[in-house]
Chains A and B, each alone.
Chain A
Amino acid sequence: MTQNILEMRSITKTFPGVKALSDVTLEVARGEVHAICGENGAGKSTLMKVLSGVYPHGTYEGDIVFENETVEFRDIRDSEAKGIVIIHQELALSPYLSIAENIFLNNEVKGPLGLIDWNRTNQEAKKLLARVGLDEDPVTRILDIGVGKQQLVEIAKALSKEVKLLILDEPTAALNDSDSDHLLDLILHLKGQGITSIIISHKLNEIKKIADSVTVIRDGKTIETIQHKDVSEDRIIKGMVGRDLEHRYPDHTPHIGEEVLRVEKWTAHHPQDSSRVMVDNVDLTVHAGEIVGIAGLMGAGRTEFAMSLFGHSYGSRISGKVFKRGKEIKTRTVDEAIQNGIAYATEDRKMYGLNLIEDIKRNISMASLRKLVSFGLVNDNEEYKVANEYRQSMNIKSPTVLQRTGQLSGGNQQKVVLSKWIYSDPEVLILDEPTRGIDVGAKYEIYTIINRLASEGKAIIVISSELPELLGICDRIYALSEGRITGQMPVADATPEALLKLMTLEKQR
């Protein structure tokens, strides 16, 4: 069938002072998987919010034709009634309710008296879980299952609403590789059952794998729609950034100096269950000017290692030694770690990295306020000046440093986080997933910044779940599995296969 299930015609959406979408057209054929690509802030999410009724009819210009009928959604319930279901990046599940309760939230299975029929609820939930390939008891609480399974619950919930068009916003952003693969297979499986999907994703290899066609959006405009046979990463990237990206990773010639950080026998236990070893006798060194990668699957203890090292921010019963330039240092509190020249940029900048209701200026100064104090008072003019310098040198895109960080795109938020830590003048920078959830162009900028820091003689540790990224920017890579270092190799010798082998090396029991 070549018939379109959805046509969005000339959609224009304006916010005060900003044209978020201008004349965007999107055509989705019935039964296909349609990918939407674009950088953060390009307008993908806005377009989907227009489609799902989050922005009601009348707040935008243009027409939406769904199943050959012009539709005017007043809210998200209207669009769901027509069979359009959107699954947001941040999952909308209630952690303390069961899987079944979440699936039928606001769509409860009721008995004759209007009371909830729990037997049927759980029974129906079981059937839906089978359809998404999730083998869990429907009465399990959401917080007891992993994020990958939660994603499947969201899809089961969509299926319960008799979805015709499923919209997934960055569905695999928080998933590990095997969960991602399972999810992608499921999307293809649902396609076989006649469900059309729109998938918003940054991961170009994923798109290539499952999408029948790809629409590229840039600066609130449709650039082109590419059919599957013509899809290539280069073409998508070119469309997204408006130029060729010859190299995904900037060139970097390492000038490696003396050893800056050495960690010996670093061990940390689970914060609640102190018998569980999460970081197991880790030995690691970083030199001045060196970019060291830590590769590991989800749950391997990458973040746990970094956070336990950084002021014992994670874990219990922490032991091991840290040496800086040969001298033993302590990092028992974050403040102590910062004083000793260590910085840690978190993987979850919204939860742990930024004060989103505060402006850029105050976020940048947060970790080093003492530097701005004269006569006991914070010099806010100096603070403004410093922040402005970082805004320029880091290319943070905002009119002034007085803008709230919550209003920035992911890439710009990350630049604020990096500015904060660079301003604290560290010798060792630990960057945990420095490019998670940010777009291709901004990634390149972040890599350039990392290179610049290395060439200034900083010792850098990069934690990433994307192997090509580690291979692209690091000088040396450690592999971590079950909390242990299972090997290390200079990047020249490293291949994804070799690393994966080390990353999946299990403990001998």
Chain B
Amino acid sequence: MSDTATKAPAPSSGIKLPSTLSHIVGDLGKNGIFLALIAVVVLFSITTNGILLRPQNISNLIVQNGYILILAIGMVLVIVAGHIDLSVGSIAAFIGAFSGVLIRDAGFPWWLAIIGALVIGAVVGAWQGFWIAYVGIPAFIVTLAGMLIFRGLALITLGNSNIGSFPEEYRALGNGFISFAGPDAAIDFFTLAVGGLAIIALIVQQVRTRNGRKKYGQAVDPTVWFVAKMAFVTVGVGAFTYALASFKGIPVTLIVLAVLVMIYGIVANRTVFGRHIYAIGGNRHAAELSGVKTRSVDFWLFVNMGILAALAGLVFTARLNLAGPKAGDGFELEAISAAFIGGAAVQGGIGTISGAIIGGLIIGVLNNGMSIMGIGIEWQQAVKGLVLLLAVAFDVYNKRRAGGGSGR
């Protein structure tokens, strides 16, 4: 008869609050990273006199950071499994160059070049996955080597020159917009319609999840708070959509990203493969002894990272309409920062796709806001480094205070 029943942690204890309010406080505490994003946005809206929130800039924010966010999705999974990938920037450069060669020299149509590039990305990932999973070399070393190898291959592929001028369909990946309004229209109703549908889909999904949980007797947000959150989502997505609609429409990059976030969110939380990633990161031995094929999971994780790195390379090349030797420089560090700012644990086992996306957006807003303010690149670097440090320190402090914390 152990006495742990008496230790039932009551998160609200200590502070006397009505239960709804204390629930909200707890919920906000768990989503501190989201509040941080809002704080950064508010801060830079003020310091840039509102330029940050202009429609064109909002659209730019997404397009400029799209490739980092794509990398962050793969990176957070790699980090959750207890690994790291330093090679993604070089892979992106290599794949960008490779796709250029396919189109310019081999005469591939744009779509075949994209498919070919993704396949090569998978092969590159399989190469690294093989050394990590089956030979047992730490990912840090394998991908450090990969960083050099694929940067070298990128330079070799380019042969001391840039490859420029890609087909328009290819460029759309980084620069394209979907819009049905004429160039003179003030607002694109198609974009608004898509935004509206997205809001409805989000709310329907949230309500279904909530009802499902209630049916199984699980604790859910109090109704007031749930409605408030949904209202916030509606306003947020609505305002965002309005901004896009009054600029050029929906960026293709955003569509790519939205699809990836949806798919990977499900993969991480609802598939056996995703669960196994978390199990491995939390305790590799225990996962192994529970029947998880840890090597196979590690391998496919890096194959996946290779594909996403390839995709990021394509988006970046498409955006610049140029495959150059410096492409992808430092991408790996921004993607890793995004994952950690988004709450991933250095030891593995903890981290979310949405957290990584928000982390990436924080970095994006910092970049963008400081650029608008005319702050030099040297200070931008320093500030970003400091933000990464503080974000992780805050996370560590929070967990210590919570005495281990409770769940994700």
B19 within 8 A of A: no
The residue on B at minimum CB distance from A401 is B218
Within the complex, what minimum Cβ distance (angstroms) separates B398 from chain A? 14
A87 at the interface (CB under 8 A from B): no
Whether A352 pairs with B271 at a CB distance below 8 angstroms is no
Q: Say yes or no: is A362 at the interface (Cβ < 8 Å to chain B).
A: yes
A337 vs B289: C-alpha distance in the bound complex, in angstroms? 10
A409 and B7 alpha carbons, distance in the complex (Å): 10
Decide: A381 and B218 in contact? CB cutoff 8 A. yes
A404 to B279 CA separation, bound complex (whole angstroms): 13
Residue of B nearest to A407 (CB): B404
A353 interface residue per 8 A CB criterion? yes
Q: Contacts A335-B293, A355-B286, A420-B290; is A362 near B270 (CB within 8 Å)?
A: no
A353 to B270, CA, bound (A): 22
Residue of B nearest to A381 (CB): B216
Given the known inter-chain contacts A355-B279, A377-B270, A380-B269, please indicate yes or no for A334 contacting B290, CB distance below 8 A. Answer: yes
A18 and B407 contact, Cβ closer than 8 Å, known pairs A355-B287, A356-B283: no
Which residue in A40, A358, A381 is a CB contact (below 8 Å) of B278? A358
Residues of A within 8 A of B287 (CB): 355, 366
Q: Is the CB of B282 within 8 A of A358?
A: yes
Q: A17-B10, A378-B270 are in contact. Are A353 and B286 (CB under 8 A)?
A: yes
Q: Tell me whether B2 and A39 are in contact (CB under 8 A).
A: yes
List B residues 344-383 near A (Cβ within 8 Å). 345, 349-350
User: Are A377 and B271 interface neighbours, CB within 8 A?
Assistant: yes
Q: Which residues of B contact A264 (CB under 8 A)?
A: none
| Pairwise interchain contact A367-B216, C-beta atoms closer than 8 A | no
B270, A380: Cβ atoms under 8 Å? yes
User: Are B13 and A17 in contact (CB-based, < 8 A)?
Assistant: yes
Q: Kindly provide the distance from the CB of B402 to the nearest chain A CB, expressed in whole angstroms.
A: 9
Q: In whole angstroms, what is the CA distance A17 to B4 when docked? A: 12
Give bound CA distance, A404 to B5, whole Å. 14
Contacts of A41 in B (CB 8 A): 2-4, 7
Number of A residues whose C-beta is below 8 Å from B? 68
**Complex Cα spacing A7 to B356, Å:** 52
Residues from chain B with a CB closer than 8 A to the CB of A346 are: 289
Answer whether A18 and B7 are a contact pair too, CB < 8 Å, given A359-B407, A397-B2, A442-B1: yes
Point out the residues of chain A lying under 8 angstroms from B405, CB to CB: 404
B403 interface residue per 8 A CB criterion: yes
Q: Which residues of B contact A438 (CB under 8 A)?
A: 2
Please give, as numbers and ranges, the residues of chain A lying within 8 Å of B330 by CB-CB distance.
none
A40 CB to nearest chain B CB (Å): 6
A141 to B5, CA, bound (A): 43
The listed residue (A334, A356, A377, A439) touching B288 by CB distance below 8 A is A334
A241, A353, A358, A367 — most chain B CB neighbours (10 Å): A358
- A334, A358, A404, A439: the one contacting B2 at CB < 8 Å is A439
Question: Is there an interface contact between B290 and A367, defined as CB atoms closer than 8 Å?
Answer: yes
- CB-based nearest B residue for A380: B270
Q: Does B183 contact A (CB under 8 A)?
A: no
A356 near B282 with CB under 8 A, answer yes
A20 to B270, CA, bound (A): 37
Alpha-carbon separation in the docked complex, A439 to B10 (Å) = 25
Please tell me if B106 contacts chain A, counting CB pairs below 8 Å: no
- A16-B9, A377-B271, A378-B270 as given contacts; A398 in contact with B4, CB under 8 Å: yes
**What's the Cα separation between A384 and B219 when bound, in Å?**
11
A363, closest chain B residue (CB): B286
Contact between A362 and B275, CB atoms less than 8 A apart? yes
Interface 0/1 of B45-83, CB less than 8 Å to A: 000000000000000000000000000000000000000
B279–A358 CB distance below 8 A:
yes
Q: Are B288 and A313 in contact (CB under 8 A)?
A: yes
Q: How near does chain A come to B351, taking the closest CB pair, in angstroms? A: 11
Q: In the complex where A39-B3, A381-B218, A439-B2 touch, is A17 in contact with B8 (Cβ < 8 A)?
A: yes
Determine if A95 is an interface residue (Cβ-Cβ < 8 Å).
no
A171 within 8 A of B: no
Chain B residues numbered 260-283 whose CB sits less than 8 Å from any CB in chain A? 266, 269-272, 275-276, 278-279, 282-283
Q: A16-B13, A242-B1 are in contact. Are A362 and B288 (CB under 8 A)?
A: no
**Whole-angstrom CA separation of A382 from B275 in the bound complex:** 15
A352 contacts across to B, CB distance below 8 A:
283, 285-286, 289
A residues less than 8 Å from B16 (CB atoms): none
Task: Say whether, besides A355-B286, A378-B271, A406 and B404 are in contact (CB < 8 Å).
Answer: yes
Evaluate contact between B291 and A335: CB separation under 8 angstroms: yes
Cβ of A123 under 8 Å from chain B = no
Chain A 368-386 residues near chain B, CB threshold 8 A: 369-370, 373, 376-378, 380-382, 384-385
Name the CB-closest residue of B to A410. B2
Asked whether B160 is an interface residue with its Cβ less than 8 Å from the other chain, the reply is no
Measured between beta carbons, the chain B residues less than 8 angstroms from A353 are 286, 289
- Taking a contact as CB atoms under 8 Å apart, the answer to whether A370 and B272 are in contact is yes
Contact residues in A for B219 (Cβ distance below 8 Å): 400
A357 to chain B, nearest CB (A): 5
* B406 x A403 contact (CB < 8 A): yes
Query: Cβ of A39: which chain B residues have Cβ within 8 Å of it?
Result: 1-3
- The answer to whether A355 touches B213 (Cβ under 8 A) is no
Q: Which of A141-169 contact B (CB under 8 A)?
A: none
Chain B CB within 8 A of A114 CB:
no
Interface digits, A203-233 against B, CB 8 Å rule (1 contact, 0 not)? 0000000000000001110000000000000
Q: CA A411 – CA B7 in complex, angstroms?
A: 14
B293 CB to closest chain A CB, in angstroms? 7
Docked pose: A235 CA to B271 CA in angstroms: 52
Most buried by A among B10, B286, B287: B286
| Chain B 1-27 residues near chain A, CB threshold 8 A | 1-11, 13-14
Q: A370-B272, A373-B272 are in contact. Are A404 and B1 (CB under 8 A)?
A: no
Complex: how many Å from CA A158 to CA B14?
Answer: 39
Most A CB contacts (10 A, CB to CB) among B266, B291, B404 go to B291
Q: Could you mark each residue 325-351 of chain B with 1 if its beta carbon is under 8 Å from any beta carbon of chain A, else 0?
A: 000000000000000000001000110
Instruction: Determine if A219 and B288 form an interchain contact, defined as CB atoms under 8 angstroms apart.
Output: no
Q: Is B400 part of the binding interface, using a Cβ–Cβ cutoff of 8 Å?
A: no
Task: Please tell me if the beta carbons of B291 and A378 are within 8 angstroms of each other in the complex.
Answer: no
CB of B385 within 8 Å of the partner chain:
no
Q: Is the CB of B278 within 8 A of A362?
A: yes
Interface-centre pick from B4, B282, B345 (highest chain A CB count, 10 A): B4
Q: Is the CB of A442 within 8 A of B2?
A: yes
Residue B212 lies at the interface, judged by CB distance under 8 Å to chain A: yes
Asked if A68 lies at the interface with its beta carbon under 8 angstroms from chain B, I say no
Given that A17-B9, A18-B7, A378-B271 are known contacts, is A411 also in contact with B2, CB under 8 Å in the complex? Answer: yes
Query: Are B275 and A369 in touch, CB under 8 angstroms?
Result: yes
Contacts of B349 in A (CB 8 A): 355, 357-358
Q: Are A40 and B9 in touch, CB under 8 angstroms?
A: no
Do residues A357 and B14 form an inter-chain contact, with CB atoms below 8 A?
no
Which 8 pairs from chain A and chain B are nearest by CB? A355-B282, A441-B1, A17-B13, A367-B290, A399-B8, A17-B10, A335-B291, A377-B270
A-B contact pairs, 14 of them (CB 8 A): A17-B13, A18-B6, A18-B7, A219-B3, A311-B289, A313-B288, A333-B293, A334-B290, A337-B291, A351-B283, A362-B279, A378-B275, A384-B213, A442-B2
Question: What would 12 more interface pairs be, CB under 8 Å, given A357-B350, A366-B279?
Answer: A18-B9, A39-B2, A311-B291, A313-B288, A333-B291, A344-B289, A351-B285, A367-B291, A369-B272, A377-B266, A378-B270, A380-B270
